[in-house]
Structure 1
Amino acid sequence: MPRLPHPSTDELRRDPLPLRGRTALVTGASRRGGIGHAVARRLAAYGAGVYLHHHVPHDAAMPWGADRPEDVVASVREALGDPGARVVAGPGDLSDPAAPAELIATAASALGGRLDILVANHALSGGDGTLDEIDAAMLDAHWAVDTRSVLLLVQAHARLRPAGPGGRVVMMTSGQDIAGGMPGEIAYALQKGALASITRSLATTLAERGITVNTVNPGPVDTDYLTGDAYDAVAERFPGGRWGMPDDPARLIAWLATDEAGRITGEVVNSEGGFRR
């Protein structure tokens, strides 16, 4: 094969809106303190139209609570780089096997009939335990939300999107295979590990359709779930002395969605900020 020429000077100059004209679905964006909201803001700032999926009952039942969807949408709209791009939100209980395909179709329709980028950020919190504590119901609940729904979202995305460059899938894992693992969250760790393990297979499957598939481990991120001495103890384990903030993994995920990352696929990318486990 002939060697490709070096990029031109114009090509080397970064487009301030590298996702202009593209559309994205970000799942698990029920609150402004979360990673999903930060990812949506970055994608919007890069020019993309964004559909924000939320499941308010889940976050409302957690100690951190949920925001009003209209407030999350307003925050993302503030970041829009392309004033012609749309920001839309809608609900979905992804424990329902029919919900992933419905969500993909709804998001694509709301964003003009096309969906280029899927960021599967949602996860089930709570209802977990140690090896001695888990039971079949816990395992099934985490499987349904954390793994099955993600694979069905990817399947529906691949079926709907026309083949061609620019397709992106980003899944989320949790560092469950690093150092001491997550012995207190066996069900969650198992399902997040499954996503990391399937990344390469999905990337190979979808390469001919122009869709890259990568999985991001954001490391410990301050999403308002820990306070006090426990919070400070975690901060001390970072070389910089601070937690990761939601925008830290969001910058990585947004970059993976751009053409600059077109050759990055099948990878599990750790973004832990040097965290010492």
Structure 2
Amino acid sequence: MPRLPHPTTGGRGRDRLALRGRTALVTGASRRGGIGHAVARRLAAYGASVYLHHHVPHDAAMPWGADRIEDVVASVRAALGDPEATVVAGPGDLSDPAAPGELLATAAEALGGRLDILVANHALSGSDGTLDTVDAAMLDAHWQVDTRSVLLLVQAFARHRAALPARTPGGRVVMMTSGQDIAGGMPGEIAYALQKGALASITRSLSTALADHAVTVNAVNPGPVDTDYMTGEDYDAIAALFPAGRWGMPDDPARLVAWLATDEAEWVTGQVIDSEGGFRR
């Protein structure tokens, strides 16, 4: 079977708009200091149309607070590389088991009826503890948001792609883990580490399940990223553990996620990729 040329280059080599004509749903993109916002800006810069999922009540309850969604959307629109691309935003409480499927359908419809890229970036912050303090409510809360909702999103995405013409190119799923499998683990965040670990362990199985639909599935561990949740001496102590002497910034993992969404990464699937800048645990 002859290979089709890249849809944005006509087979003439690389194009800075490597995602022109593609569409993406990025979850957890509700504030400009977060990884989701940085990922959305990168995808938009590469030419994709992007749907930004947000759940403002979650961020409003955190120490860093919530952004105005209008400001987040404006920031991503400012990064658009293709003037014909669009940016849309909508809410969703992904602890609701019906929300993932509804969100996927809403995003696809808003972006013209086809969704190519799913970046499951959302997660529950807080509501966690050590082995001694974790309880059933903490475990359930993280399961619902960090794991169950991601799997239901991937399920809905797989069904959506299955309804497209056979092996439509460009299908991508990227999930986010947190280095819970690396030396030292996360003993202070047992519920979070457990559920993120489940995503890491299911990555290869999901990649096999979606292979017939020409969809790659990968997970990214971004390591410690400065998303405005730490300051002072603790911040400096973490920075000293990086060979570069600085924290990871949201755009650091965003560049990797955006590359995984392009055709250059079509042969990479079933992988959990650490993007930690040499962080020494």
Distance in 2 (alpha carbons) for counterparts of 1:255 and 1:45: 12
- Match for residue 252 of structure 2? 248
Say whether residues 1:170 and 2:177 are aligned partners. no
SS at match of 2:237: helix
CA drift of 1:16 comes to 1.1
Q: Scaled by the length of structure 1, what TM-score is found?
A: 0.96
Say whether residues 1:231 and 2:255 are aligned partners. no
Distance in 1 (alpha carbons) for counterparts of 2:186 and 2:11: 44
Distance in 1 (alpha carbons) for counterparts of 2:10 and 2:211: 27
- Match for residue 102 of structure 2? 102
- Match for residue 48 of structure 2? 48
Amino-acid identity (%) = 83
- Match for residue 17 of structure 2? 17
Q: Scaled by the length of structure 2, what TM-score is found?
A: 0.95
Say whether residues 1:183 and 2:180 are aligned partners. no
Distance in 2 (alpha carbons) for counterparts of 1:268 and 1:235: 24
Distance in 2 (alpha carbons) for counterparts of 1:91 and 1:166: 25
CA drift of 1:152 comes to 0.2
AA of the residue aligned to 1:123: A
Distance in 2 (alpha carbons) for counterparts of 1:49 and 1:11: 22
Distance in 1 (alpha carbons) for counterparts of 2:192 and 2:154: 20
Give per-residue Cα distances to partners, 1:190-238, cap 9 Å, x unaligned: 0000000000000001001010000000000000000000000000000
CA drift of 1:12 comes to 6.7
AA of the residue aligned to 1:187: A
Say whether residues 1:113 and 2:117 are aligned partners. no
SS at match of 2:28: coil
- Match for residue 79 of structure 2? 79
Distance in 2 (alpha carbons) for counterparts of 1:228 and 1:30: 25
Distance in 1 (alpha carbons) for counterparts of 2:252 and 2:191: 26
Say whether residues 1:273 and 2:277 are aligned partners. yes
CA drift of 1:11 comes to 4.3
CA drift of 1:256 comes to 0.0
CA drift of 1:13 comes to 3.0
SS at match of 1:223: coil
Distance in 1 (alpha carbons) for counterparts of 2:271 and 2:211: 13
Give RMSD over aligned pairs. Answer: 1.7
AA of the residue aligned to 2:41: R
CA drift of 1:10 comes to 8.1
AA of the residue aligned to 1:152: L
**1:195 is matched with which residue: 199, 202, 223?**
199
**1:209 is matched with which residue: 213, 221, 232?**
213
Distance in 2 (alpha carbons) for counterparts of 1:97 and 1:241: 42
- Match for residue 92 of structure 1? 92
**2:224 is matched with which residue: 220, 223, 238?**
220
SS at match of 1:201: helix
Distance in 1 (alpha carbons) for counterparts of 2:84 and 2:35: 24
CA drift of 1:166 comes to 1.0
Distance in 2 (alpha carbons) for counterparts of 1:11 and 1:246: 32
Distance in 2 (alpha carbons) for counterparts of 1:141 and 1:127: 8
Q: Which runs of 5+ in 1 are unaligned?
A: none
Distance in 2 (alpha carbons) for counterparts of 1:248 and 1:103: 27
Distance in 1 (alpha carbons) for counterparts of 2:205 and 2:129: 29
Length, aligned pairs only = 273
